[in-house]
């Protein structure tokens, strides 16, 4: 929530909540709502922020209100305004909760006050005749969220159609300009790549449709304060924690990382239909208030993290990157003089330089890297692997094809040289596993393999 507070009845502005310079995260709506009652007492507000539970926050606020420290213009109108602002932020910034709220459609929402409570304003009261203002405000928030979602979907669809209509006409001219821009200054053995340059290295571009997974954690603020994990990503695994999720392109991830405190906007970028649209959204000046202040200092770190994930998880492009050896890598953008070479070919080419760092980091990695391994009773091993693949601790990145191999047991499965040989192999795509064929994978791995089995999962592409 912002540090600014609602104005007083006479139009004057309360001081900013400066204690929020350390953190802008409120533990609950109750914490925020009750703190806003005391704009002239930042010490009370900060104490409420640090209250261990919502109940503790309410108790502290009630005590200070009785002591006469509550703002004098705090009435039902202001209280409802503050409550609605907090509720809107809560459901916008936690998309899973927002979706759950929207799923209630037009059904009445009622705060079912406990029978022992005397509360009749926010809830329905013990006898059911309360005002239920909390339910009414939630219905308003729900309506606004549904309307906003419809507007966003229409906007994205319209802009995607417009971009697609102009993209084809611009591609040929831009590619010609990109080739001309780097021809004079680039070394003869340089590897030139760009989203609109049609050559074998086009996949190096951040716009290339090569999916990869990233953990939901975000780089902390300069003072070490952590930003919240990406709340819109799906939860999974045995502990229900946030798990890695698939990004369409590096550009989508790079642009979303600019706004660590605006989860709703990050989610819009995540779902952007094209990398061009993701870039446009990342450059939207209307979002400048949410742009992290240290972006210029960390943007290359963000890019490098994404590129490492992209090439590690996609062996074909990793092999292509490794094949360039020590040749210079140049992003042949005719318009970008920071990330690319620019029209003169003398730009900083930071994209190429960062990609060279990634190449050096991954130069010795095998493109057929083993992902999972287990040994023991074949049925148990197969079940464990399938469990991991369908929502456990290990997630197979989508878009790849994987081979499940029985390496043999200690007896009949040994090769003539005394070592283990691969006695059985099955190939599966992870989307099929996730759609419920995990049991079939387990059966295929376990069938006819003796009492002990070692299974390796290798990515083929």
pLDDT digits 0-9 by tens, 162-197: 666 666 666 655 555 555 544 545 677 899 999 999
Q: Are residues 130 and 214 in the same domain?
A: no
Q: Are residues 260 and 139 in the same domain?
A: no
- At 312 the pLDDT is 87
Q: What is the mean pLDDT of residues 321-334?
A: 94
| Residue that finishes a domain, picked among 303, 334, 361 | 361
CATH number at residue 313: 1.10.357.40
Q: Are residues 311 and 195 in the same domain?
A: yes
Q: Are residues 328 and 374 in the same domain?
A: no
Q: Are residues 350 and 205 in the same domain?
A: yes
Q: Is residue 153 over pLDDT 70?
A: no
What's the total number of domains in the chain?
3
- For residue 96, is it within any domain? yes
Report which secondary-structure segment, H or E, holds 97.
helix 95-102
14-57 tens-digit pLDDT: 888 877 765 567 889 999 999 999 999 999 999 999 999 999 99
Q: Is residue 446 over pLDDT 50?
A: no
Q: Is residue 373 over pLDDT 60?
A: no
Q: Backbone phi, then psi, for 212, in 5-degree steps?
A: -155, 160
Contact status, residue 307 vs residue 250, Cβ threshold 8 Å: yes
- For residue 379, is it within any domain? yes
Q: What is the mean pLDDT of residues 85-93?
A: 88
Q: Which residues contact 293 (CB under 8 A, 6 or more apart)?
A: 222
Q: Are residues 308 and 192 in the same domain?
A: yes
Q: Which range has the worst mean pLDDT, 148-162, 261-275, 312-326, 372-386? A: 372-386
- At 159 the pLDDT is 62
Neighbours of 170 (CB within 10 A): 11
| Residue that finishes a domain, picked among 361, 391, 425 | 361
Q: Is residue 406 over pLDDT 70?
A: no
Q: How confident is the model at residue 314 (pLDDT cuts 50, 70, 90)?
A: confident
Q: Are residues 351 and 388 in the same domain?
A: no
- At 278 the pLDDT is 95
Task: Select the more confidently predicted residue: 69 or 415.
Answer: 69
| Structural domain range at position 211 | 172-361
- For residue 8, is it within any domain? no
Q: Is residue 427 over pLDDT 90?
A: no
Q: What is the mean pLDDT of residues 115-139?
A: 85
- For residue 140, is it within any domain? yes
Q: Are residues 378 and 355 in the same domain?
A: no
Task: Select the more confidently predicted residue: 203 or 239.
Answer: 203
Closest-CA residue to 180 (of 168, 163, 192, 195): 192
67-78 tens-digit pLDDT: 999 999 998 899
- For residue 10, is it within any domain? no
Q: Are residues 335 and 399 in the same domain?
A: no
Q: Are residues 120 and 176 in the same domain?
A: no
Task: Select the more confidently predicted residue: 396 or 209.
Answer: 209
Q: Which residues contact 379 (CB under 8 A, 6 or more apart)?
A: 442, 446
Taking all residues of the chain, what is their mean pLDDT, rounded to a whole number?
76
Strand, helix or coil for residue 361: helix
| Residue that finishes a domain, picked among 314, 344, 361 | 361
Alpha helices in 369-437 (DSSP H): 378-389, 430-432
Q: Are residues 315 and 374 in the same domain?
A: no
Q: Are residues 349 and 378 in the same domain?
A: no
Give the CA distances from residue 420 to residues 165, 382, 406, 407, 409, in Å, rounded to whole numbers and listed in that order. Answer: 56, 18, 10, 6, 8
- For residue 160, is it within any domain? no
106-121 tens-digit pLDDT: 999 999 877 667 778 8
- For residue 153, is it within any domain? no
- For residue 163, is it within any domain? no
């Amino acid at each position: 929530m912002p540090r600014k507070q609602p104005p007083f009845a006479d139009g004057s502005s309360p001081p900013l909540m400066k204690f929020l310079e350390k953190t802008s995260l409120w533990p609950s709506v109750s914490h925020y709502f009750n703190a806003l009652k005391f704009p002239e007492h930042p010490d009370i507000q900060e104490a409420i922020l640090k209250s261990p539970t919502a109940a503790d926050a309410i108790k502290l606020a009630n005590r200070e209100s009785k002591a006469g420290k509550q703002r004098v213009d705090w009435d039902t109108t202001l209280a409802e305004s503050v409550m609605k602002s907090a509720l809107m932020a809560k459901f916008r910034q936690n998309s899973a909760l927002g979706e759950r709220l929207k799923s209630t459609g037009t059904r009445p929402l009622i705060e079912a006050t406990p029978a022992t409570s005397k509360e009749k304003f926010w809830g329905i009261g013990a006898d059911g005749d309360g005002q239920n203002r909390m339910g009414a405000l939630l219905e308003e928030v729900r309506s606004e969220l549904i309307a906003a979602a419809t507007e966003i979907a229409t906007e994205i669809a319209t802009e995607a159609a417009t971009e697609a209509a102009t993209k084809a006409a611009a591609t040929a001219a831009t590619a010609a300009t990109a080739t001309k821009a780097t021809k004079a200054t680039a070394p003869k053995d340089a590897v030139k790549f760009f989203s609109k340059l049609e050559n074998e290295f086009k996949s190096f571009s951040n716009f290339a449709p090569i999916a990869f997974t990233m953990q939901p954690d975000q780089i902390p603020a300069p003072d070490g304060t952590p930003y919240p994990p990406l709340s819109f990503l799906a939860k999974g695994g045995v502990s229900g924690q946030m798990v890695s999720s698939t990004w369409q392109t590096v550009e989508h991830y790079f642009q979303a990382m600019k706004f660590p405190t605006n989860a709703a906007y990050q989610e819009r970028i995540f779902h952007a239909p094209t990398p061009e649209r993701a870039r446009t959204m990342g450059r939207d000046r209307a979002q400048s208030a949410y742009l992290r202040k240290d972006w210029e200092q960390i943007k290359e770190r963000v890019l490098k993290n994404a590129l490492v994930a992209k090439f590690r998880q996609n062996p074909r492009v990793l092999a292509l990157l490794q094949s360039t050896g020590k040749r210079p890598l140049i992003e042949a953008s005719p318009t970008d003089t920071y990330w690319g070479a620019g029209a003169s070919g003398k730009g900083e080419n930071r994209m190429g330089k960062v990609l060279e760092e990634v190449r050096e980091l991954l130069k010795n990695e095998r493109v057929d890297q083993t992902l999972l391994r287990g040994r023991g009773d074949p049925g148990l091993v197969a079940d464990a692997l399938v469990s991991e693949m369908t929502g456990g601790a290990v997630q197979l990145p989508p878009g790849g094809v994987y081979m499940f191999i029985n390496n043999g047991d200690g007896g009949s499965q040994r090769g003539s040289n005394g070592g283990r040989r691969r006695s059985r192999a099955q190939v599966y795509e992870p989307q099929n596993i996730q759609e419920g064929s995990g049991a079939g994978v387990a059966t295929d791995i376990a069938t006819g393999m003796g009492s002990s089995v070692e299974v390796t999962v290798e990515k083929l592409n």
